[in-house]
Structure 1
Amino acid sequence: MHVLLGLALGAIYILLAAGLTIVYGLLDVVNFAHGVFYMLGAYAVFLVISLTGSFWIGLASAAIITGLIGALAEVFLLRPLYEKHQLYPLLLTFGFSVAVPDLMKVVFGLIGKTVDYPEALSGFILLGNIPFPKYRLFIIVLTAVVMTSLWLFLKKSDLGMVMRAATLNSRMVEALGIDVARIWTVGFSIGVGLAALGGAVAAPMVSASPDMGVDITVESFVVVVLGGLGSLAGAVTGGLIIGQVVSFVSLFAGQYSKVAIFIVMFIVLLVRPRGLFGEAGRH
């Protein structure tokens, strides 16, 4: 049971870590506002469900709407800072992480907004003799589908291959006549869209609240560092490991579950400073 619960939690970490990895790999930007987009995804699913009554429309809309917000933020706020000091984008995203939650408190109030489980996914399903929540099983399956689709997109599609090339050498790609700035926008939009999807699927379990992205941002960075900066395989592996750690530590000593993930990261980095799948160096 706790292995499966850990998989469900790890699935949310994977979505967030994969988004961080894409943004860092393409733009070389450490996005401290990643938890903000996670939170915006939760509020987006709440608003769309309120308007349409459909959880499924809300889930798809949350990723799309937040991805578009991310694209606008990249074009008008981040892009002017790329040619300036490398700390400026970091400081901007940090400012976002402080300002946007306060704005959401003004608009929506301090009380979290509950999101109902879809009727088809409420209750339990028997896995062998073990009752397991249908919704958490859905999260595991959804994340597997999303990550497989993302891998196929990056490996097989023309745009995905251009994105991978831009990650390795953006100047070479630009020299071939490709609009690298547009690739950066698409990559940032995909990255924050994955974070928003994580927030949308988490909303029925934790409710949408302005500060819900604070802790998850730190935990997402732990997953990325554990797996290795810039590695999607590392994001998946790190998410699975941290999900299991939190699940099993919560079983025996719940108050130490958050501390445990930092201990695991510390141990891994002592043995392998670049993370499990990280490259030996970066330009």
Structure 2
Amino acid sequence: MDVAIPLPVIMIQLLLGLVNGSFYAVLSLGLAVIAGLLNIINFSHGALFMLGAVFTWMGMNYFQLDYWVMLVVAPVLVGVFGIVVERTMLRRLYRFDPLYGFLLTLGLASVLEGVFRSFYGVSGLPYSPPAALSGVSNLGFMVMPHYRAWVIAASLAVCLATWFLIEKTRLGATLRAATENPKMVEAFGINVPLIVTLVYGFGTGLAGFAGVLAAPLMPVSPLMGQNLIIVVFAVVVIGGMGSIMGSILTGLGLGLVEGLAKVIYPEASATVVFVVMVIVLLLRPSGLFGKGK
């Protein structure tokens, strides 16, 4: 006999799904920027997500910096770390098969997780949302925590700003041209290697930004990005490898699907994203928003 699911339960799960989808969108956006413009599969993205959260915890506990300062500082630090990695390691591999870059970033993720695990363990570090965002609002059919609303709003703002920058501005056109035909762009006096470095730094900075947002909602630990990155890769594949808007819409949409699955069929909630990925790959191998047939 079917049991009707109360509307408040559905709305709460959709809200939780939208919050998770916000993280998927920001993280997959960073991956899509790096993959689409630089043709690099950055498997260290989950570790960089963790790095943003850990940097925030360190800044607040060791240097007494507040959340709003770390919301800017932590992504910048992660972006600088990404720039160093690109200039000292990845740049040496561009002339080889992309698999080498993938293996390098995979090894880098393991090193980062191992280093922070040796200092902080895996149990998770305490972290609270800022006082200004610690309350809730009663919407009638559900209670909306202010911090979760902030996560959704901040994620959407960053995602849309990134899409506009890359797809609708002259700077974005230059970035795309520099990666598609670097020799022609260099003929106009543009420093293409510098552009490549900055794009990689920006993509890793997005992972750090997602880590700052996630820190008050999940235990800050060296392994916090390990499982998440698998889902994010699935999001990028479903949306279309390198598609900016595809990553944003797919991340948000799959978060909602995952949340709804927890209400309708909880046993499938952990695998529904991968089921969708298999179906999309069978019907449209280039992804929902990717180029190709």
Query: TM-score, normalised to structure 2's length?
Result: 0.90
Whether the 8 Å contact between 1:114 and 1:203 is mirrored in structure 2 is: no
What is the SS of the residue equivalent to 2:46? helix
Match of 1:220 in 2: 232
Once residues 181 and 66 of structure 2 are traced to their aligned partners in structure 1, the CA distance between those partners, rounded to angstroms, is 43
Paired residue for 2:129, among 88, 111, 117? 117
Whether the 8 Å contact between 1:42 and 1:207 is mirrored in structure 2 is: no
Q: Greater Rg, structure 1 or structure 2?
A: 2
Name the one with the larger helix percent: 1
Match of 2:49 in 1: 38
Once residues 156 and 266 of structure 1 are traced to their aligned partners in structure 2, the CA distance between those partners, rounded to angstroms, is 32
Once residues 67 and 141 of structure 2 are traced to their aligned partners in structure 1, the CA distance between those partners, rounded to angstroms, is 29
Q: Compute the displacement of 1:233 (Å).
A: 1.0
- Describe how 1:65-214 pairs up with structure 2 within 5 A: 65-214=77-226
Once residues 87 and 13 of structure 1 are traced to their aligned partners in structure 2, the CA distance between those partners, rounded to angstroms, is 24
Once residues 148 and 261 of structure 1 are traced to their aligned partners in structure 2, the CA distance between those partners, rounded to angstroms, is 23
Once residues 77 and 101 of structure 1 are traced to their aligned partners in structure 2, the CA distance between those partners, rounded to angstroms, is 18
Give, as a single letter, the amino acid of the residue that structure 2 aligns with 1:15: V
Paired residue for 2:244, among 210, 218, 232? 232
Q: Compute the displacement of 1:255 (Å).
A: 4.1
Match of 1:7 in 2: 18
Whether the 8 Å contact between 2:163 and 2:245 is mirrored in structure 1 is: no
Once residues 243 and 146 of structure 1 are traced to their aligned partners in structure 2, the CA distance between those partners, rounded to angstroms, is 17
Q: Percent identity?
A: 38
Once residues 254 and 184 of structure 1 are traced to their aligned partners in structure 2, the CA distance between those partners, rounded to angstroms, is 43
Query: More displaced, 2-11 or 89-98?
Result: 2-11
Give, as a single letter, the amino acid of the residue that structure 1 aligns with 2:55: A
> Would the alpha carbon gap of residues 174 and 139 (structure 1) be closer, same or farther in structure 2, given more than 3 Å must change?
same
Query: TM-score, normalised to structure 1's length?
Result: 0.94
Whether the 8 Å contact between 1:48 and 1:57 is mirrored in structure 2 is: no
Once residues 251 and 204 of structure 1 are traced to their aligned partners in structure 2, the CA distance between those partners, rounded to angstroms, is 24
Q: Compute the displacement of 1:274 (Å).
A: 1.0
User: Residue by residue, what CA displacement relative to the aligned partner does 1:143-201 show, whole Å, maximum 9, x if unpaired?
Assistant: 12112221232245443321122243333222322111111111111111111111111
Q: Compute the displacement of 1:275 (Å).
A: 0.8
Structure 2: unaligned runs, 5 residues or longer: 1-10
Structure 1: unaligned runs, 5 residues or longer: none
Once residues 181 and 155 of structure 2 are traced to their aligned partners in structure 1, the CA distance between those partners, rounded to angstroms, is 29
State whether structure 2 residue 274 is matched by structure 1 residue 274: no
Give, as a single letter, the amino acid of the residue that structure 1 aligns with 2:122: L
Query: More displaced, 4-13 or 60-69?
Result: 4-13
> RMSD of the alignment, in Å?
1.7
Once residues 172 and 97 of structure 1 are traced to their aligned partners in structure 2, the CA distance between those partners, rounded to angstroms, is 35
User: Residue by residue, what CA displacement relative to the aligned partner does 1:185-240 show, whole Å, maximum 9, x if unpaired?
Assistant: 11111111111111111111112111111111111100000100110111011101
Once residues 97 and 283 of structure 2 are traced to their aligned partners in structure 1, the CA distance between those partners, rounded to angstroms, is 33
Query: More displaced, 248-257 or 219-228?
Result: 248-257
> Would the alpha carbon gap of residues 271 and 87 (structure 1) be closer, same or farther in structure 2, given more than 3 Å must change?
closer
Equivalenced residues, count: 281
Give, as a single letter, the amino acid of the residue that structure 1 aligns with 2:52: G
Match of 2:31 in 1: 20
Match of 2:258 in 1: 246
Whether the 8 Å contact between 1:6 and 1:243 is mirrored in structure 2 is: yes
Once residues 170 and 280 of structure 1 are traced to their aligned partners in structure 2, the CA distance between those partners, rounded to angstroms, is 23
Give, as a single letter, the amino acid of the residue that structure 1 aligns with 2:291: E
